[in-house]
Chains A and B, each alone.
Chain A
């Protein structure tokens, strides 16, 4: 944000709708009100030519009347576009096993993105033993087991099947896992809650293929297996497979990226990420789950009693604020737009509420439409920051009436060692100097210790 901008002139008094300066969401449409988005950078740098600034001490001064890019022809056409050179800080954050680089995850930079679709190159990744480089001519899908006909489907043949498309999120069951720790991570939100992304997927209804092989009456589960080095297998209830599951071939208009399952993956809208088996090559119909390593010793949530929750397949509703961002500063008091994301594995987002006073009072945020079931919903909240400490929270309610819990409630119910399925409300503390950081509770947010004891599970 630039300080040279004029202060907004108010055409009407602004009555807060909730504590600490939250305003009516309809004010975004009010003439004469200028809301500012938070920026990650402290101040706008003087304009320079990117190339000139790299490796040269003095940035080149730019003629504002006729900048250099207006003095020469631009770049030619390109067969495949890439982001601007000036956006090279927008990136995933890999976090992998030090010995096996393909075992781990990379976090999607939610705090650097807008709208409700994740660009393909920034979709989160979770691989168990690297990304296979699959030649589609040597990849077939086998469906077998409790079926009338055991069939292979080649890539070329599958491309001739009727398709549909659907926008939905995929969230890793281990997303937000550092929030189980005692101390709140200070990472920007994407790098602690970014094992979730949202795409428009296109492919074949799985039910079309299941009808072709003819599912036997005894069948209750599908055991799906990927063609990666892990040969990962997972059990999926037949009911879901016949409902809205897809054999996805396209992501945001183009064929799947290798790290998202090229040439084909399962898509189970709203269900835990690991079930959306990438590089799928085999589906066995069975009367029982296989009890794979990843559905028994992983992706289960240990409770304080010593028992573990298993087959927690649906993703609970979650919301978080993507702007402002932990670790950045709000430069001066004024009118701002708090921006965030909400989603639910059970359907549509019904509403998102925002609080600026640590949950004492709440106001309903504006939702960008259309609100799509099991997809990212972008929310926005007008806020007048008065330069005093504040605690920002967002809370989603989905169409089933499920309300996102506070951290205390989640931890009281589940303990701190579940590792998976963390979906509590995320709190950002804003200090009087404008510095923003992720905290758990207002009362102890001065405990600024390191994020010790991250229970990395890979």
Chain B
């Protein structure tokens, strides 16, 4: 044990120099105690869904199925038709984003349909987060997009069709971090 601690101490003192984006920085080296994760373990925990579709699971769900799930699991906080509950409005915006009372909904603000899938599956419903299956999540996503007039009533979402969804505010953002990066270069 003592020997092990000594080795760790030596490693800590040596450190290493890494280069990132032109910067050089000395980083203390750790005792390298990380345990390998198997592909199955990683897959079970990986729930990020990216705008390019990476992370989308198999399965599908329709607007009609989503409406039923919404009635039983979402309506209590989000109200009928995505409006009027204790939680923020999800749909029903009439005025858009430029008025005195901007309406920030999925239809007016959200830039990616994949975000809706990612967020609904990981965080909703707030009283039973993580309880929606992939199918149910596709269905609720489809229904919310339908409520916002983004997809038709007969839409079935899956990992291919969700990538065809055109979000109205996809180009509505100014990337400040990127701007600063370019300024500093």
Contacts and interface: CB of A to CB of B under 8 A. Distances in A.
A161 B31 contact: yes
Nearest to A98: B86
A160 to B, nearest CB: 6
Contacts of A284: 46, 48
Given A144-B37, A230-B129, A231-B130, A208 B109 contact: no
A197 to B, nearest CB: 24
A195 interface: no
Interface in A149-164: 149-154, 157-158, 160-162, 164
A311 B33 contact: no
Contacts of B126: 100, 103, 129, 229
Contact of A243 (B25, B37, B41, B114): B25
B90 to A, nearest CB: 10
A162 B28 contact: yes
A213 B34 contact: yes
* Residue of A239, A291, A292, A312 most packed against chain B (CB within 10 A): A291
Contacts of B21: 239
B33 A153 contact: yes
A312 B175 CA distance: 8
Contact of B97 (A151, A162, A209, A306): A306
Contacts of A282: 45
A309 B50 contact: no
Contacts of A396: none
Interface stretch (A297-305, A365-373, A434-442): A297-305
Interface string A231-272: 111000111001100000000000000000000000000000
Contacts of A160: 8, 31, 33
Given A290-B118, A307-B174, A162 B98 contact: no
A291 B111 contact: yes
A212 B31 CA distance: 9
Contacts of B119: 292-293
A279 to B, nearest CB: 14
B98 A305 contact: yes
Interface in A100-150: 100, 103, 128-129, 142-144, 149-150
Contact of B123 (A223, A286, A293): A293
Contacts of B33: 153-154, 157-158, 160-161
B35 A151 contact: yes
Contacts of A150: 36-37, 42
A288 interface: yes
**Nearest 9 CB-CB pairings of A with B:** A151-B34, A311-B177, A293-B119, A157-B33, A231-B122, A310-B173, A242-B20, A207-B27, A306-B97
Interface of B: 8, 12, 16, 18, 20-21, 23, 25, 27-37, 41-42, 45-52, 77, 86-88, 96-98, 102, 104, 106, 109-112, 114-115, 118-119, 122-123, 126-127, 129-130, 172-178, 180
Given A212-B30, A293-B118, 6 more contacts: A160-B33, A211-B16, A308-B174, A309-B174, A312-B177, A314-B180
